[in-house]
Structure 1
Amino acid sequence: MNTFLADTFLTALTKLDNQSQKAAKLTAFELQTDPTGKGKSFHRITASKEKDFWSVRANRDIRIIVHKTADRLTLCYVDHHDDAYDWASRRVFERHPRTGALQIVELVEQVREVMAKVDVAPAADLFVEPAPAPEPAKPTIFPLAKVGADSLQDYGVPQDWAELLVVSSMADALQAADHLPGEAAEAVRVFLAGGVPEAPAPAQAVEAQRFRMVEHRDELEAALEFPWDRWTVFLHPTQRQFVDAEYNGPARVAGSAGTGKTVVALHRALQLSRDDSTNILLTTFSDPLASALKEKLNILNGGEALVPRVKVSSFVGLAKELYELATGNRPRMVGRDAIIRRLKKIAPDDNPTFLTNEFEDVIDPWRVDSLEDYRELKRTGRRSRIGQRRRELIWPWFQALRDGMKARHELTEAQLFAWVEDYYSGRERKPFTHIIVDEAQDLGVPELRFLAALAPEGGNRLFFAGDLGQRIFKLPFSWKSLGIDVRGRSGTLKVNYRTSHQIREQLDRLLPEKLSDLDGLVEDRSGTISVFNGPVPEAISCTDQIDETKQVSAWVKARLDAGIAPEEIGLIVRSEGQLTRAQAVADMLNLSVQALLGDARPQAGLLSVGVMQLAKGLEFRAVAVMACDAEIVPLESRVEGAETQDDLDEIWQTERQLLYVAATRARENLLLSGVLPVSEYFDDLVTET
């Protein structure tokens, strides 16, 4: 008898507390060893229409729902006794008559009965008999009416649900999708987002996605131990087109947080690596993100520690490595703090912050080598204007700064990128055949030129994944001006698989519906939908830091009591100066913390604590963004450093985007807190509680 794990079982398992998970896993091991269940307490679910649903006792309260036939045992669900039986009573296990794929199908009439017993919001009216009402001022729009019930069934939607969906509003249809088998739900969401799903996959392929056969104990153990990671690399139909596409030039995939851009990048890298003639670079802007990419790529590759023909590295990490290979020496790097100190000595009467920003954002990245070049430069990305006399005054200071670094054989990151770019630009043999860039919105001018020099000309050589709404580090510039034109080879993901509908809907208010780059390429966020629901995000205004500590601690404790593990909870603050406020919450709960600095990743049993700038790439079931005080978000020191209104506008926008990045790390639960007066961004986010 073969043993299978349904995706519904793995999802339910993650929601149990640690002790209950251990009991469920132990029972699963025993069932795999002996699927007949000798010594286990099997009970048929008589209240279910599915005659082959059974309950298996894991401990006094936890029950596993299995589907048992003569030749297969499928672990379908796990929960506390009453909830597990209720789940089974509302479902059947059957083959879809049109697609032939096995499905766990929730019964429409049972859902209606359950929903009718609870106090539901207007958006849930799909599941109750509508009361007579006057003719509405505007006719209700049924977005799936044109698709038709027959076509929906072609994609695995059960007949009863298909007939209901074609007479459902957008809100009702989205809620209905939560109750459909996975492949059917995905097709419905693609239709609702205005797209057309790919042709239905063969039944065997669909079943392989929803039901995983486990033949050995170590395979079962891996599946049970890492259900969360499994979802971080799972490829969904709306993403596949970008993985499989053949491009005749540089290409880019966009999408708001949680739509799976990184998943596309990972799968594209792995797929290209299957060709023995390839040598692929998968890269991103920081070492921690590169480390996370490597972990996910290993999971995607079946747990192997090395994926042949794929190198994973950060931009600067790769540049340092290539420099050392070419010269035999490690580059001597100089950072921002040293530049500020030196400019203070060179120009003691001028604004060191302005001079440093001008050097890092204009002089260094654009490789300005003379006063003549500086006079003619348009200063792309810097909104503040500088006249010719001002440029003539400050240029000698930049020249002196550079002369000092040259004498010490030092390089800034921009100069390091430029050195490697020059080294490879004239070489016929390149180190990579394909380059895939994740978090591409934070590419700067030197990084983009550096990467473009590392691969030969030709289609598919450059692929970018990013979101303009998450740009937090680099100023905008024209890619086309550097010879990288992705127009006509760009697309936007519209289905959010990571963040709940409630969190996504609220956080989208922080950003414009449409964002465009300096080449006129527009990223349209409208029409994005999430695949699951969750609690409404909360925002609390506290009287002082002690009050904030108490309220956030109570919120975190409620998440822990609900079965969320400490490592699945993140406490995020604007900068290092506010980390003590997050630490105070952990201290009140007697929990240890994991500081998310450098390559550190969440560890079992520890609360994760970090700053917004390092939040990229992280995902938690619950996130509290703390210390959102008026003078912290946006950061007062940045605001005070603005010299013009244009500079101030840019700061306010990037601070919004930074808060968006931090808050979208939350999958299911989100809390924002601050001490009065709180950040004015609260007005755009959620109603205070």
Structure 2
Amino acid sequence: PAQDRIAHANYRGSARVSGGPGTGKTIVALHRVAHLVGQLPPGADKPILLTTYTMNLATDLRMRLASLIDPDKLARVDVTHIDQLAARVLGENTPAQHRKQRVSDPAALTELRQLLAELDESRWDAAFLFDEWDQVVLGQSLTTRADYFQARRAGRGRALTRPDRNQVWKLVEQFTARLDKLGVETWGQAAERAARYETDRARRITERPTTDHDLDDSSGRRSLTYRYRHVVVDEAQDLRAAHWKMLRAMAGPTAPNDIFIAGDTHQRIYDHHVTLGPLGINIRGRSTRLTLSYRTTRQILDWALGIIDTTHTPYDDLDDGTDALTGYRSVLRGPKPTLTGYPTWESELEGLAEILSTWRAGIANPTNDRPITETPDETTPRPATVDPTGRIAVCVADRDLVGRTIDYLTTHAGLTCAELTKDGPQGDGEIHIGTMHRFKGLEYQNLAIIAVTDGIIPRAAIHRYKTEDPSRYDREIRKSRSLLFVAATRARDTLAVTWNASRSPLL
């Protein structure tokens, strides 16, 4: 009932739903789309946008929505991930000969390190400069040195004097010129450019009002109306400021039910901190929080909440306030998570193979000891059978560990595996294996998180910031906690956590 009220409400403007993992934010977003498309006047356009942060999540949303509404209504919804949307805008506004190849942040950071080495510049850390450029310069669409001198740097930690900003700006100019010469740009740059194009488009629309019949056609020509009547955003906590500027311009000025936002800042695994109000998205008085988890057991939930450290670390609400998981609970009961340390990586892999074999045997010979609800009137008891596509998974911190884990399990343990990629599972193996980032939005009956080892989670490289830049150190620790929190709350029934040598301090 709580989800139903949110999905079918009539809002005077933008609205937001928050809540911990498994509370049904994505379900609400999907039913919100179904409700909005049912209210549309007849037409052949796509006036509703459903977007999220990554490609695999967008694919999942499209599949779920297809099971919820009929094909005619589905055809009126544009389901795409946010960077694909930005790339589409750039494609419409950039001649083919001037288009740039997009590169990952790590690839761009390598170029910045090379530039600093060539300049014999040792005062500034490459990672700090890159974040300053990505979060402040691109995040606030700063185009001049004067703009940068006036920019707010809330939460950035290290204070910069005016001469400092002057030096940073010079290095940023040289860096962006280097990328431009190589014919490449980051996804952050792409988002910022797309936001500028859409903002300019919105300005021209306000200068020349048109009717609802002047819609974008299939040729991609610019129209004189806003792209969408309604925008629905899932996993909103991971979007950049430039993404929000683009979406605000696409939906036009504030109107009833213009932008609907689903997200949880406790699950923010990318370092994009945004305040929506200054970006023209007002959600005050139209925010609702869900508290009942339908996914995981109380035992797993209690352990995961200890990881997130909700009592000592404040989390924002995508605006000027704070968010909390107060009242977050589950009515499902099950076994406590198992935590096991091993002396070596090899022995940890042997232990993992034993865990997975036990789970496989349990699935082949199910018993009646599945988690149950304590108060059936609050939620529906678990079904006797579980979706076979989401039964067993192994979660690790990075791609290298994914490859090493798959190699061991297939070669030495005789298990079949499928790697989780941006396009979903690759292969038909029964055990899904991927990085923590790839598990966003997924759930599994049995989940193992391995190599939760000191120096891996969090990365050893961040410890130098403890004295050099305490604010950045705190942000990195918070991001690592959120990543482990997201991973743990993908488990529905059973969670196993292992490490080798020294366990992570986050445990």
Matched, 1:568 2:364: no
Query: Aligned residue for 1:501?
Result: 298
Comparing 475-484 with 335-344, which one deviates more in the overlay?
335-344
Question: What SS does the corresponding residue of 1:478 show, helix, strand or coil?
Answer: coil
- Cα distance in 2 for residues equivalent to 1:631 and 1:342: 25
Instruction: Measure how far apart 1:606 and its partner are.
Output: 2.3
Instruction: Measure how far apart 1:639 and its partner are.
Output: 3.2
- Cα distance in 2 for residues equivalent to 1:338 and 1:522: 34
The residue type equivalent to 2:300 in the other structure is I
Q: Is the 8 A contact 2:275 2:318 kept in 1?
A: yes
Query: Aligned residue for 2:104?
Result: 335
Q: Is the 8 A contact 2:101 2:184 kept in 1?
A: yes
Query: Aligned residue for 1:190?
Result: none
Instruction: Measure how far apart 1:276 and its partner are.
Output: 3.3
Instruction: Measure how far apart 1:454 and its partner are.
Output: 0.6
Query: Aligned residue for 1:25?
Result: none
Query: Aligned residue for 1:633?
Result: 457
Query: Aligned residue for 1:144?
Result: none
> Superposition pairs for residues 175-574 of structure 1, below 5 Å?
237-277=1-41, 279-301=47-69, 304=71, 307-327=74-94, 329=96, 331-348=100-117, 349-350=121-122, 351-406=125-180, 410-425=184-199, 426-428=203-205, 429-457=225-253, 458-511=255-308, 512=310, 515-517=315-317, 519-563=319-363, 568-574=391-397
- Residues 532-576 of structure 1: CA deviation (Å, up to 9, x unaligned): 222211110111112211222111111111116685211010111
Query: Aligned residue for 2:503?
Result: 678
Q: Is the 8 A contact 1:620 1:666 kept in 2?
A: yes
Comparing 346-355 with 334-343, which one deviates more in the overlay?
334-343
Question: What SS does the corresponding residue of 1:430 show, helix, strand or coil?
Answer: coil
**Structure 1 spans left out of the alignment, 5+ residues:** 1-236, 683-689
The residue type equivalent to 2:288 in the other structure is G
Q: Is the 8 A contact 1:499 1:530 kept in 2?
A: yes
The residue type equivalent to 1:320 in the other structure is A
* TM-score with structure 1 setting the length: 0.61
Question: What SS does the corresponding residue of 2:80 show, helix, strand or coil?
Answer: strand
Instruction: Measure how far apart 1:325 and its partner are.
Output: 3.0
Would the alpha carbon gap of residues 473 and 403 (structure 1) be closer, same or farther in structure 2, given more than 3 Å must change? same
Would the alpha carbon gap of residues 344 and 522 (structure 1) be closer, same or farther in structure 2, given more than 3 Å must change? closer
Question: What SS does the corresponding residue of 1:453 show, helix, strand or coil?
Answer: helix
Identity %: 29
The residue type equivalent to 1:563 in the other structure is I
Would the alpha carbon gap of residues 543 and 341 (structure 1) be closer, same or farther in structure 2, given more than 3 Å must change? closer
- Cα distance in 1 for residues equivalent to 2:346 and 2:298: 32
- Cα distance in 1 for residues equivalent to 2:191 and 2:327: 38
- Cα distance in 2 for residues equivalent to 1:589 and 1:673: 18
- Cα distance in 1 for residues equivalent to 2:501 and 2:469: 28
Comparing 400-409 with 642-651, which one deviates more in the overlay?
400-409
Query: Aligned residue for 2:385?
Result: none
- Cα distance in 1 for residues equivalent to 2:500 and 2:17: 39
Query: Aligned residue for 1:659?
Result: 484
**Structure 2 spans left out of the alignment, 5+ residues:** 206-224, 365-387
- Cα distance in 2 for residues equivalent to 1:588 and 1:493: 44
Instruction: Measure how far apart 1:397 and its partner are.
Output: 1.4
> Which is higher, the Rg of structure 1 or of structure 2?
1
Question: What SS does the corresponding residue of 2:246 show, helix, strand or coil?
Answer: helix
Query: Aligned residue for 1:103?
Result: none
- Cα distance in 2 for residues equivalent to 1:526 and 1:264: 20
- Cα distance in 2 for residues equivalent to 1:604 and 1:518: 39
Query: Aligned residue for 1:154?
Result: none
Would the alpha carbon gap of residues 638 and 585 (structure 1) be closer, same or farther in structure 2, given more than 3 Å must change? farther
- Residues 155-210 of structure 1: CA deviation (Å, up to 9, x unaligned): xxxxxxxxxxxxxxxxxxxxxxxxxxxxxxxxxxxxxxxxxxxxxxxxxxxxxxxx
Instruction: Measure how far apart 1:334 and its partner are.
Output: 3.9
Instruction: Measure how far apart 1:354 and its partner are.
Output: 2.0
Would the alpha carbon gap of residues 337 and 659 (structure 1) be closer, same or farther in structure 2, given more than 3 Å must change? closer
- Cα distance in 2 for residues equivalent to 1:300 and 1:597: 25
- Residues 186-238 of structure 1: CA deviation (Å, up to 9, x unaligned): xxxxxxxxxxxxxxxxxxxxxxxxxxxxxxxxxxxxxxxxxxxxxxxxxxx22
Q: Is the 8 A contact 1:381 1:476 kept in 2?
A: no
- Residues 487-522 of structure 1: CA deviation (Å, up to 9, x unaligned): 111010011111112111211112205733473433
- Cα distance in 2 for residues equivalent to 1:650 and 1:676: 26
- Residues 317-360 of structure 1: CA deviation (Å, up to 9, x unaligned): 01112222344635532432443243234322232222222222
Query: Aligned residue for 2:447?
Result: 623
Question: What SS does the corresponding residue of 1:347 show, helix, strand or coil?
Answer: helix
Would the alpha carbon gap of residues 272 and 566 (structure 1) be closer, same or farther in structure 2, given more than 3 Å must change? closer
- Cα distance in 2 for residues equivalent to 1:463 and 1:367: 24
Question: What SS does the corresponding residue of 2:333 show, helix, strand or coil?
Answer: coil
- Cα distance in 1 for residues equivalent to 2:477 and 2:67: 38
The residue type equivalent to 2:248 in the other structure is A
Q: Is the 8 A contact 1:269 1:436 kept in 2?
A: yes
* TM-score with structure 2 setting the length: 0.82
Question: What SS does the corresponding residue of 2:503 show, helix, strand or coil?
Answer: coil
Q: Is the 8 A contact 1:250 1:484 kept in 2?
A: yes
Higher relative contact order (CA 8 A, sep 6+): 2
- Cα distance in 2 for residues equivalent to 1:519 and 1:466: 12
The residue type equivalent to 1:434 in the other structure is H
Would the alpha carbon gap of residues 280 and 338 (structure 1) be closer, same or farther in structure 2, given more than 3 Å must change? same
- Cα distance in 1 for residues equivalent to 2:361 and 2:111: 53
Query: Aligned residue for 1:6?
Result: none
Instruction: Measure how far apart 1:407 and its partner are.
Output: 5.1
The residue type equivalent to 2:341 in the other structure is S
> Superposition pairs for residues 129-148 of structure 1, below 5 Å?
none
- Cα distance in 2 for residues equivalent to 1:562 and 1:309: 44
Instruction: Measure how far apart 1:608 and its partner are.
Output: 0.5
Q: Is the 8 A contact 2:463 2:473 kept in 1?
A: yes
Instruction: Measure how far apart 1:364 and its partner are.
Output: 1.9
Instruction: Measure how far apart 1:421 and its partner are.
Output: 2.5
- Cα distance in 2 for residues equivalent to 1:427 and 1:308: 28
- Cα distance in 2 for residues equivalent to 1:476 and 1:602: 32
Q: Is the 8 A contact 1:579 1:611 kept in 2?
A: yes
- Cα distance in 2 for residues equivalent to 1:569 and 1:501: 20
The residue type equivalent to 2:166 in the other structure is E
Q: Is the 8 A contact 1:560 1:566 kept in 2?
A: no
The residue type equivalent to 1:619 in the other structure is E
- Residues 121-165 of structure 1: CA deviation (Å, up to 9, x unaligned): xxxxxxxxxxxxxxxxxxxxxxxxxxxxxxxxxxxxxxxxxxxxx
Q: Is the 8 A contact 1:238 1:495 kept in 2?
A: no
Instruction: Measure how far apart 1:474 and its partner are.
Output: 2.5
Over the residues paired in the alignment, what is the CA RMSD in angstroms?
A: 2.3
- Cα distance in 2 for residues equivalent to 1:259 and 1:352: 39
Would the alpha carbon gap of residues 567 and 483 (structure 1) be closer, same or farther in structure 2, given more than 3 Å must change? closer
